[in-house]
Amino acid sequence: MEQIRAFGSNRVISVTENNYINLYKVFEFSDLREKACVLDEKKLTNPAVFKFIDCEFRNNQQFSIVYIDNITENIQLFQYCFSGNEGILFSHGTHITLDKYSIYHVDDFGNVSLVKDMNCSWSHTEMKPEIRKTDEVPAEPILYYLWEGQINNREIRLVCARQKKVLIGEMMMKNEVGTEFLRVLGMIDTDGEILFNVYDTENVCALRRIFLGHIVGKTLECFDETTQMEFKLRTYKGDVRYAMDREADAYCSPFSKSTIYYLKADNRELAGGYSFFNMTSYSEHYGRIDISRSGADLEVMEFSIDYKNKGRQALTDGKSILDGNTFKHHLSYGECDYEFEVFFYNGFLIIHSVSGKPYGCFDSNTSIEGIYVQESSVG
């Protein structure tokens, strides 16, 4: 089945006799009030294989979204999105393989064994819609950038959404074996210079490439400090398969409908480890911040930071009070007089300088500023 759009009050798919089903580009299951998919092995005469490819399940309520009754064969879900649903996602016991998914869900996943690959680690739990509305503030405007060009004689496209001083997006890179899509995060300094971090597909904290960029008219002028290489990317408008503004406060991929990266952090999920490391010089360029919370309202943020670059290290720790999704901390001892601020986003944080210089606080020419990616939880 292909190119389906389903909404309303009835179940969309009920499979009782077929032994194979392949759903491809099922654009949307939305606003349903009964089970979206019912797969029942009791009436199946042969082992079953079910594939859901590039699907979306949105705004469905009060039932198990995908009901699978005692099927023992593999259920495969590839490049899909669950968002805004209420109730249990999966029921009952079986094994489900999840690949390149995004799930934004407050209720239980269900009593299934989820087999996750490394492409699944950007998912998070979202507050219920009624909770989000009570805390809602006017959204900051989103700017969209689409650049294309070559890096090391490879054709690339760099697509980003910008909100204030942060960018989030993807780099599409063509290589010998095909096309690769890499996660990109960026931060903008007071002079308008953009730090771009390009991450590996197998490890969300591993940096494949770091470069600086300046927007000059319709051109992004770039410099890679590691290779000392300059390159330019130019803007483009055509060949955008999916609208980038289809969700608010988010980067929505023009390449894949199910790829959506929300910017706003869930306040309940700020604690944990955030890190990065350079794949070409792991022991010489890395950073890590560990955060725990305490207090009656979990407002006390206790942190420790370890940053190293080119043999120079920065170590510090302390406690601060959370204000919204950010906190500030002031270091003052000896020659050290430096204040920095930590901003939390969905799946990562950014450390910015507020006042003073880190001179005297850490090793010379060392700073803790940068982008730290939230490490995937285990289990």
331-359, pLDDT tens digit by residue?
Answer: 999 999 999 999 999 999 999 999 998 88
Going along 189-299, which residue ranges are E strands? Answer: 194-199, 206-216, 219-224, 229-235, 250-252, 260-262, 272-278, 285-294
The answer to whether 164 touches 146, Cβ cutoff 8 Å, is no
Place of tokens 């999840």: 98
Band (pLDDT 50/70/90 cuts) for residue 91 is low
**Is residue 376 pLDDT above 60, yes or no?**
yes
**224: which 2 tokens?**
């890679």
Are 312 and 358 in the same domain? Answer: yes
Structure-model confidence comparison of residues 55 and 187, the more confident one: 187
- What letter represents residue 332's amino acid? S
3-state secondary structure of 43: helix
Q: Flag the least confident range among 75-84, 240-249, 273-282.
A: 75-84
Report the share of the chain in percent with pLDDT over 70: 61
**Is residue 15 pLDDT above 90, yes or no?**
no
Question: Rounded to whole angstroms, how far apart are CA atoms 104 and 261?
Answer: 10
Which of 185, 188, 313, 183 is closest to 259 using CA atoms?
183
**Is residue 27 pLDDT above 70, yes or no?**
no
Average confidence (pLDDT) over 315-341: 95
Are 250 and 275 in the same domain? Answer: no
- What letter represents residue 39's amino acid? L
Q: What is the DSSP letter of 197?
A: E
Note whether residue 137 is domain-resident.
Answer: no
Per the DSSP assignment, residues forming a β-bridge with 96 are 75, 114
Predicted TM-score (pTM) of the model is 0.65
Are 118 and 9 in the same domain? Answer: yes
**Is residue 285 pLDDT above 90, yes or no?**
no
The sign of the CA dihedral 174, 178, 181, 182 is negative
Q: Which residues contact 15 (CB under 8 A, 6 or more apart)?
A: 21, 37, 38, 39, 40, 44, 48, 50
Are 66 and 101 in the same domain? Answer: yes
pLDDT at residue number 72: 46
Note whether residue 78 is domain-resident.
Answer: yes
Structure-model confidence comparison of residues 96 and 20, the more confident one: 96
Note whether residue 379 is domain-resident.
Answer: no
**Is residue 97 pLDDT above 50, yes or no?**
yes
Average pLDDT, the chain: 77
Are 237 and 347 in the same domain? Answer: no
Structure-model confidence comparison of residues 105 and 271, the more confident one: 271
Sequence-ordered alpha helix ranges (H) in the chain: 129-134
Are 64 and 108 in the same domain? Answer: yes
Task: Specify the pairing of strand 272-278 against strand 206-216.
Answer: parallel
Question: Rounded to whole angstroms, how far apart are CA atoms 249 and 162?
Answer: 10
Q: What is the DSSP letter of 130?
A: H
pLDDT at residue number 145: 94
Band (pLDDT 50/70/90 cuts) for residue 329 is very high
Sequence-ordered alpha helix ranges (H) in 53-152: 129-134
pLDDT tens digits, 33-42:
444 444 443 4
Place of tokens 């390009």: 198
Note whether residue 165 is domain-resident.
Answer: yes
Domain span at residue 158 reads 143-262
Q: For residue 29, how many other CB atoms are within 10 A of its CB?
A: 28
pLDDT tens digits, 234-267:
998 766 788 898 888 999 999 998 899 999 999 9
Band (pLDDT 50/70/90 cuts) for residue 201 is confident
Structure-model confidence comparison of residues 274 and 280, the more confident one: 274
How many domains, in total, are found in the chain? 3
**Distance, first Cα to last Cα, the chain:** 34
pLDDT tens digits, 131-147:
333 345 556 789 999 99
Are 252 and 277 in the same domain? Answer: no
